[in-house]
């Protein structure tokens, strides 16, 4: 393991930790750099030890994380890059692109591009006005340590050295009953010019059935592929239609060159752009012509091995300079270090108050605690905001027990108010809106945000919100920043899919108000400019608890205040506020009708009605509330009068029919009696 302090410390996020596939192979290759590397799932659980690394100090322990797939959400408390290499067609064919994949793509801190201009333009569109070209790159290559020099001319005498190597999943055949290059491979097999490798079984189908030149599977271990490739005269790289359309390519060309073997590729523009004439190419208008073109290229390699060897040497020099992991990751490390120390002076000398209060919608539920266990996360986020924006951050704690006196960063202070100093009422029985109304006069800063003990801000939660205010400080001084969040209590490793994980980082234009909005908002995600604090007037918020953030956002919209929904997920919420309340509500309903109305801190149905009390004069706010409450749903279609008359007649007959059945059973009338 490379302990050089200049070497990056990296977390690699595996979407499918226990599946041996191309992602697994790539991760194994990255480990060969010798850098400090851990493989984690998207919740941050170490695949090897099972420990959750996604802690308050993660951004001190590691430099950055890399995600390899668009299905992977950005949940780690660490700068995280998405590797942009998958064909765009694979994403755009998905029915959940708008609701799932697009928020996934937008959430990342930065992106590692694979040289495809089309894929970079896609990310530019996805990120929108915030996009900047970082020029960071990553390729499915290898470590500098694993570049294998091409064989000398006197080592090229084996039979296999005059054949091409082809390895593929052949997964299209499992769907369409024919692979991406069925005719091409058939002809090469007839000519005894190729050997084929790949999985023996795919979804219960044998994708290589009928190929006598099929030689078996190659383990996804980062080593075996190179060893097998070096037995052959050339590596054949065949692109899928999706790769061609998206102007990207698979890893095969990089793997062949890393193994020191000449590569014969189809005329993929991405390969040509990266390697030029250092790779041999084949083409043709039909499979016969394409096969002949491959054979011609193979003959050129066999007849002039010195030129072929020189091409590989030059390609490996290019790999070492640009494509190998070390130059890519060291540039990423440099970028990360610059971003972590770059300061913005626009808000210098201004102040941020972070109000940390104790509140629990269901004190009897599991996970309840009187301690403010998230304090260290709050301190880390406060320190980052102070460092990057030059603001003084004051953490105001109330209602919960603080840990022992923590170490505070420069320009971060901590004060505590006792609940008894604010009110004579029982703090635990107050609604969230009542608590915020009591604490708002204590907040005197230019920016204010409120968190409960269940809200765990990421290290950059406050600094990213301040970035938005700093971009237009005068216009946004009365604005509201809405950060993204996800709900997870870190009790279990990440599931394969993300369907059941509550999160929201949808952009302002794409967000749709629905009844699901009740669960899709957390007070902790809101940061207020000082001129927006009038929204926290006691008369306007005291009736609200679980719907407080919705009421505040609706009020801001009704007043035409500037607001922004961040693309970034800035908070991990241990328990979603609405779901925690709803569980208490459900338990209360089991006791009887009145328990749900009198025994709880609040009742969300009451709050839905209270929203109209506050916002009925604002058409914009009222429209939001109609969507959230369900009043905007289409009314039931009118019943045809004739159908209504028939239903009424049947209804009048039903009691008579029941009486007849009882009489029949009593006197023994009916069939079979």
pLDDT number for residue 170: 61
- Could you report the per-residue pLDDT of 371-393, keeping only the tens digit for each? 999 999 999 999 999 999 999 99
The angle, 0 to 180 degrees and rounded to 10, between the axes of the packed helices 432-439 and 548-558 is 60
Q: What is the CATH topology of the domain spanning 148-321?
A: Rossmann fold (3.40.50)
DSSP 128: G
* pTM of the predicted structure, to 2 decimals: 0.90
Q: What is the mean pLDDT of residues 433-444?
A: 96
- Average pLDDT score, the chain: 92
Q: How many residues does the chain have?
A: 673
Q: What is the pLDDT of residues 613-627, one digit of tens each?
A: 999 999 999 999 999
Strands 194-197 and 164-167, by their bridges, are parallel
Token pair belonging to 178: 């024919």
Q: What percent of the chain has pLDDT over 70?
A: 92
Q: Within 13 Å of residue 486, how many CA atoms lie on the same side as its CB?
A: 22
Kindly state the tokens that stand for 198.
Answer: 């790949």
pLDDT, tens digit, for every residue of 574-621? 999 999 999 999 999 988 888 888 888 899 999 999 999 999 999 999
Is the pLDDT reported for residue 673 higher than 50? no
In the predicted structure, residue 179 carries a pLDDT above the cut 50: no
Closest C-alpha to 359, from 425, 433, 445: 433
List Cα–Cα distances, 45 to 63, 456, 551, in angstroms.
17, 17, 36
Q: What is the pLDDT of residue 94?
A: 95
Please check whether residue 561 is in contact with residue 445, taking contact to mean a CB–CB distance below 8 angstroms: no
Architecture in CATH for domain 344-629: Alpha-Beta Complex (3.90)
Work out the average pLDDT over 90-107: 96
pLDDT at residue 396 above 90? yes
pLDDT digits (tens, 9 = 90+) for 322-371: 999 999 999 999 999 998 887 888 999 999 999 999 999 888 888 899 99
Say what the pLDDT of residue 595 is: 83
Average pLDDT of the segment spanning 401-420: 93
CB-based burial label for 614 (10 Å; 0-12, 13-18, 19+): buried
Q: Would you state the pLDDT for residue 600?
A: 85
Q: Where are the domains of the chain?
A: 9-137+327-338, 148-321, 344-629, 641-672
What is the rounded distance in angstroms from the CA atom of residue 668 to the CA atom of residue 664? 6
Asked if 407 and 401 count as a contact pair (C-beta separation under 8 A), the reply is: no
């Amino acid at each position: 393991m490379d302990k050089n302090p200049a070497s990056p410390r990296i977390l690699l996020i595996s979407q499918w930790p226990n599946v041996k596939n191309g992602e697994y192979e790539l991760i194994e290759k990255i480990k060969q750099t010798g850098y400090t590397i851990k493989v984690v799932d998207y919740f941050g659980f170490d695949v090897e030890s099972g420990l959750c690394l996604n802690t308050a100090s993660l951004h001190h322990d590691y430099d950055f994380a890399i995600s390899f797939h668009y299905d992977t959400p950005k949940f780690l408390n660490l700068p995280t890059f998405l590797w942009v290499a998958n064909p765009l067609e694979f994403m755009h064919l998905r029915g959940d692109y708008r609701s799932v994949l697009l928020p996934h793509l937008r959430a990342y801190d930065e992106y590692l591009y694979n040289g495809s201009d089309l894929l970079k333009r896609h990310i530019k569109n996805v990120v929108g006005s915030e996009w900047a070209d970082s020029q960071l790159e990553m390729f499915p290559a290898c470590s500098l340590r694993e570049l294998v020099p091409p064989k000398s001319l006197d080592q090229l005498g084996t039979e296999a050295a005059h054949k091409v190597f082809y390895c593929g999943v052949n997964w299209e055949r499992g769907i369409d009953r024919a692979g991406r290059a069925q005719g091409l491979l058939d002809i090469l097999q007839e000519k005894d010019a190729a050997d084929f490798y790949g999985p023996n079984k795919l979804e219960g189908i044998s994708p290589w059935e009928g190929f006598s030149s099929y030689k078996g599977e190659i383990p996804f271990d980062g080593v075996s592929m190179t060893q097998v490739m070096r037995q052959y005269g050339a590596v054949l790289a065949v692109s899928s239609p999706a790769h061609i359309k998206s102007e990207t390519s698979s890893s095969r060309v990089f793997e062949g060159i890393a193994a020191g073997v000449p590569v014969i590729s189809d005329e993929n523009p991405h390969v040509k752009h990266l390697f030029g004439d250092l790779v041999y190419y084949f083409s043709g208008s039909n499979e016969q012509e394409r096969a002949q073109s491959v054979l011609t290229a193979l003959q050129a390699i066999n007849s002039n091995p010195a030129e072929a060897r020189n091409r590989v040497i030059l390609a490996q020099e290019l790999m070492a300079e640009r494509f190998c992991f070390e130059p890519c990751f060291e540039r990423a490390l440099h970028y990360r270090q610059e971003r972590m120390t770059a300061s913005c002076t626009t808000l210098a000398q201004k102040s941020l108050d972070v109000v940390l209060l104790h509140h629990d919608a269901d004190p009897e539920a599991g996970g309840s605690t009187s301690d403010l266990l998230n304090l260290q996360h709050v301190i880390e986020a406060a320190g980052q905001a102070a460092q990057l924006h030059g603001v003084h951050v004051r953490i105001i704690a109330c209602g919960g027990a603080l840990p022992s006196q923590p170490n505070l960063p420069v320009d971060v202070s901590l004060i505590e108010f006792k609940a008894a100093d604010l009110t004579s009422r029982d703090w635990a029985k107050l609604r969230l809106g009542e608590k915020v109304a009591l604490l708002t006069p204590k907040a005197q800063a230019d920016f204010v945000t409120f968190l409960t003990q269940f809200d765990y801000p990421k290290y950059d939660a406050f600094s990213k919100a301040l970035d938005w205010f700093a971009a237009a400080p005068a216009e946004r001084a009365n604005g509201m920043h809405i950060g993204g969040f996800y709900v997870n209590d870190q009790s279990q490793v990440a599931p394969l899919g993300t369907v059941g994980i509550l999160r929201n980082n949808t952009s302002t234009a794409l967000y749709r108000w629905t009844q699901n909005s009740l669960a899709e908002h957390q007070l902790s995600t809101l940061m207020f400019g000082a001129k927006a604090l009038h929204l926290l007037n006691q008369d306007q918020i005291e009736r609200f608890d679980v719907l407080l953030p919705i009421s505040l956002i609706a009020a801001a919209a009704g007043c035409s205040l500037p607001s922004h929904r961040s693309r970034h997920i800035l908070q991990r919420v241990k328990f979603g506020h609405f779901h925690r309340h709803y569980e208490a509500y459900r338990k209360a309903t089991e006791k009887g009708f009145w328990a749900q109305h009198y025994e709880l801190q609040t009742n969300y149905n009451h709050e839905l009605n209270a929203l109209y009390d506050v916002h009925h004069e604002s058409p914009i706010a009222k429209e939001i509330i109609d969507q959230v409450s369900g009043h905007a749903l289409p009314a039931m279609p009118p019943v045809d009068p004739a159908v209504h008359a028939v239903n009424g007649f049947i209804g009048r007959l039903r009691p008579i029919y029941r009486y007849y059945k009882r009489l029949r059973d009593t006197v023994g009338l009916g069939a079979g009696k």
